[in-house]
């Protein structure tokens, strides 16, 4: 769920004032008196703070250009977005370099933090060459537009083409193997035309990264976590190893259950699961195949999708449920403009990027979400997630522009998911959507539903950027893009395509975040952090008992603790922000493991009793 794109635009735009000053031949202002170090420090302060102040408006313009392009995809809007992106991307790259002039200065902690963020603000750096800058901007805009316009036309009938929203619905609901296969192949075909431009984009981005002093774009991205790039990669691996046994148990059980539903020759007993059978176009989350699982269903079980549809809940009503959750924690209601300017449903008359995202257009009160809402349980939870971004954005609104972001990008994703963890049966009963909370005998079934979304996602969340890091570093060449993609998917996820894939394909391009150039490690980190946050907030709320039964809905103490962390923005290293809410400075996967501990025991018992092999 992309929310940080706009934050990057604003942060990078801050740098453009420095470009304008330099182009006019002006020098950094310094005080007329005092020691040389003091004058230099004062010069650094004025340089950075003037950049923040004077370039704020340009950042807003770039945000609006991006919003229009994603909501009205035409050649013209792509060009407008490309032009705005070129200005911001070029400036951010140029002045990420120039910020290094202050590296040796002893600065006050707040100013030193700003300097660091200034140096890292080039999300995908453009080279110095103006021609290359323009080319990169055009490529970035065209790839984003290509994904938004992507469709699959069954039998080649253009009048019956399915966009990504319709594709997700088909993959979630269909149990026809042949239809699923055709749809999977059809959607993944949208990536192939992107391949050559993507390879060129990598070349240009790496050239820009090297000019900034980084080995490649991957090293730049990994430097955004208040630790050396290689240490961050090791940290991800450490967290994955904590959770790998849980994933292997879930994978074995799901594979065995799919063999019961489909032919044994289609789903192997010991090999990877065919990607098109997991209820999701990217096989990243498996909650849509929950109905095929034989977990013990309590008599008081419920179907939230059915309840919402029977109550004739509309898209706006779905969003109101999410807003009311935050209000119950003590947060102010969303501004009127949110309801006027957000996109809740897919327009019938034009192409839009339907991928759910939250936007902070002006870093004041212009908060929005963009989402093609379907009336179903999955979207009910996603809405709570997206609003988490918006309330985070509002909480750090009064920070200086360079601090208007999350402690790290995983925090932004984790906040909304933390709230979604409180979308428990207890919560649904409190807001009147169900009459009876299922008894503890149904906890395994509930945890399985959660695991099919949360745990199943973990290796996918890890591998997307692992693939990109290898691409950026040159370890994976363009002629091996697709093979490397599927090698990682098989290694980490244990999934594979049913049909042969070749280098004529570009399957990574069928996943939004790759053509949109959005770093993906944040989603893996969010899966870890949300459970740390959840455990800490439940403790603050004085709620005892199993973590999966805890909902902080209506608890002002938990809301106050949450807001304390949110309001820090990026003003401190993420370790300090984490300590504020969770009481520890290290990301810790034990909260997630504790949450699912009863399910892990049950899965191991089921796999042993049913003879399901573990691994592939």
Find out whether 90 and 133 touch, Cβ atoms under 8 Å: yes
The stretches of 422-498 forming alpha helices (DSSP H) are 425-430, 443-473, 481-488
Position 27 pLDDT exceeds 60: no
- Cα 244 to its chain centre, rounded Å, is 21
Known catalytic residues are: 355-356, 385-386, 389, 413, 513, 523
Mean pLDDT over each residue of the chain, to the nearest integer: 89
The predicted model gives 437-450 an average pLDDT of 89
- Long-range contacts (CB closer than 8 Å, 24 or more residues apart) made by 427-431: 427/325, 427/551, 427/553, 428/302, 428/304, 430/551, 430/553, 430/554, 431/321, 431/324, 431/553
**Predicted pLDDT at 355:** 82
Residues of the chain above pLDDT 70, percent: 93
Position 255 pLDDT exceeds 80: yes
Position 433 pLDDT exceeds 90: yes
- When divided into structural domains, the chain yields a total of 1
Count how many Cα atoms sit within 13 Å of the Cα of residue 77 in the half-sphere of its side chain. 20
**Predicted pLDDT at 505:** 97
Residue 418 lies in a domain: no
**Predicted pLDDT at 17:** 28
CA-based torsion, 380, 381, 382, 388: positive or negative: positive
**Predicted pLDDT at 88:** 74
User: For residue 220, what are the domain limits?
Assistant: 4-233
Residue 229 lies in a domain: yes
- For residue 442, the SS3 value is helix
Q: How many other CB atoms are found less than 10 A from the CB of residue 129?
A: 15
Position 161 pLDDT exceeds 60: yes
Comparison of pLDDT for 236 and 159, the residue scoring more:
236
Find out whether 16 and 91 touch, Cβ atoms under 8 Å: yes
Q: DSSP states of 327-395 as a string?
A: HHTTPPPPPHHHHHH-B-S--SSS----S-EEEESSSSS-EEEE----SSHHHHHHHHHHHHHHHHHHH
The structure tokens listed for 335 are 């501004």
Nearest to 63 by CA among 275, 361, 369: 361
Residues of the chain above pLDDT 90, percent: 69
Work out the pLDDT band at 206, boundaries 50, 70, 90. very high
Position 522 pLDDT exceeds 60: yes
Beta carbons within 8 Å of 435's beta carbon, 6+ residues apart: 429
The structure tokens listed for 575 are 């370790």
Work out the pLDDT band at 200, boundaries 50, 70, 90. very high
Work out the pLDDT band at 48, boundaries 50, 70, 90. confident
**Predicted pLDDT at 594:** 94
**Predicted pLDDT at 157:** 67
**Predicted pLDDT at 14:** 34
Residue 388 lies in a domain: no
Q: How many residues are recorded in the chain?
A: 616
Which of 12-16, 300-304, 416-420, 477-481 bottoms out in mean pLDDT, i.e. has the lowest?
12-16
Work out the pLDDT band at 55, boundaries 50, 70, 90. low
Residue 345 lies in a domain: no
**Predicted pLDDT at 28:** 35
Position 204 pLDDT exceeds 60: yes
**Predicted pLDDT at 609:** 97
Residue 476 lies in a domain: no
Residue 444 lies in a domain: no
Quick: pLDDT tens for 525-548: 999 999 999 999 999 999 988 999
Work out the pLDDT band at 53, boundaries 50, 70, 90. low
Q: What is the dihedral of CA 464, 469, 475, 477, to 10 degrees?
A: 60
Nearest to 232 by CA among 408, 491, 454, 485: 408
Position 8 pLDDT exceeds 70: no
The structure tokens listed for 355 are 């991928």
The predicted model gives 61-74 an average pLDDT of 88
Which of 10-14, 185-189, 224-228 bottoms out in mean pLDDT, i.e. has the lowest?
10-14
Work out the pLDDT band at 34, boundaries 50, 70, 90. low
CA distance 331 to 556: 9
The predicted model gives 544-565 an average pLDDT of 95
**Predicted pLDDT at 302:** 85
- Cα 142 to its chain centre, rounded Å, is 21
């Amino acid at each position: 769920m992309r929310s940080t794109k706009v934050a990057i635009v604003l942060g990078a735009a801050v740098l453009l004032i420095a470009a304008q000053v330099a182009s006019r031949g002006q020098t950094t202002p310094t005080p007329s008196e005092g020691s040389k170090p003091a004058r230099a420090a004062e010069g650094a302060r004025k340089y950075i703070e003037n950049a923040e102040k004077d370039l704020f408006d340009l950042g807003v313009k770039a945000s609006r250009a991006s919003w229009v392009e994603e909501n009205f995809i035409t050649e013209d809007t792509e060009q407008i977005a490309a032009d705005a992106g070129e200005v911001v991307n070029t400036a951010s790259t140029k002045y990420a370099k120039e910020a290094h002039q202050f590296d040796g200065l002893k600065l006050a902690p707040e100013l030193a933090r700003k300097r660091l963020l200034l140096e890292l603000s080039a999300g995908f750096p453009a080279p110095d060459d103006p021609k290359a800058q323009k080319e990169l901007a055009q490529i970035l805009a065209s790839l984003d537009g290509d994904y938004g316009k992507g469709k699959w036309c069954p039998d080649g009938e253009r009048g019956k083409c399915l966009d990504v929203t319709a594709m997700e619905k088909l993959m979630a609901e269909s149990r026809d193997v042949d239809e699923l296969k055709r749809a999977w192949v059809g959607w993944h075909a949208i990536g192939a035309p992107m391949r050559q431009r993507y390879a060129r984009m990598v070349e240009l981005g790496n050239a820009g990264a090297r000019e900034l002093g980084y080995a490649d774009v991957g090293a730049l991205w990994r430097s955004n976590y208040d630790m050396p790039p290689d240490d961050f990669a090791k940290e991800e691996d450490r967290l994955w190893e904590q959770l790998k046994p849980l994933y292997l148990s879930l994978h074995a059980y799901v594979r065995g259950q799919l063999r019961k539903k489909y032919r044994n020759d289609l789903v192997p007993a010991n090999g990877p699961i065919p990607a098109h059978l997991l209820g999701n176009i990217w096989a990243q989350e498996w909650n849509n195949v929950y109905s095929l699982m034989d977990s013990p269903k309590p008599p008081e079980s419920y179907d939230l999708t059915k309840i919402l549809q029977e109550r004739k809940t509309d898209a706006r009503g779905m969003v109101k449920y999410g807003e009311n959750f935050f209000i119950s924690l003590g947060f102010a209601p969303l501004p009127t403009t949110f309801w006027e300017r957000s996109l809740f449903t897919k327009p019938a008359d034009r192409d839009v990027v339907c991928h759910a995202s939250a936007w902070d257009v002006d870093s004041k009160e212009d908060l929005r979400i963009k989402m093609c809402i379907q009336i179903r349980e999955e979207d009910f939870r996603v809405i709570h997630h997206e609003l988490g971004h918006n309330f985070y954005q509002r909480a750090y609104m009064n920070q200086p522009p360079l601090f208007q972001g999350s402690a790290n990008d995983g925090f932004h994703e984790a906040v909304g998911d933390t709230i979604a963890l409180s979308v428990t049966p207890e919560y649904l009963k409190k807001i009147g959507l169900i009459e009876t909370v299922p008894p503890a005998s149904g906890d395994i079934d509930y945890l399985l539903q959660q695991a099919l979304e949360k745990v199943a996602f973990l290796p996918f969340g890890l591998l997307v950027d692992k693939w990109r890091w290898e691409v950026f570093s040159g370890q994976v060449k363009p002629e091996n893009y697709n093979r490397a993609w599927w090698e990682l998917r098989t290694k980490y996820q244990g999934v594979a395509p049913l049909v042969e894939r070749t280098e004529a394909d570009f399957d990574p391009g069928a996943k939004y975040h790759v053509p949109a150039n959005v770093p993906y490690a944040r989603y893996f980190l969010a899966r870890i952090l949300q459970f740390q946050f959840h455990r800490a907030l439940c403790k603050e709320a004085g709620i005892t008992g199993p973590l999966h039964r805890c909902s902080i809905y209506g608890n002002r103490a938990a809301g106050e603790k949450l807001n304390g962390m949110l309001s820090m923005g990026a003003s401190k290293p993420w370790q300090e922000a984490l300590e504020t809410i969770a009481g520890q400075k290290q990301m810790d996967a034990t909260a997630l493991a504790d949450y699912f501990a009863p399910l892990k025991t049950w899965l191991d018992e089921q796999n042993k009793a049913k003879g399901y092999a573990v691994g592939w």
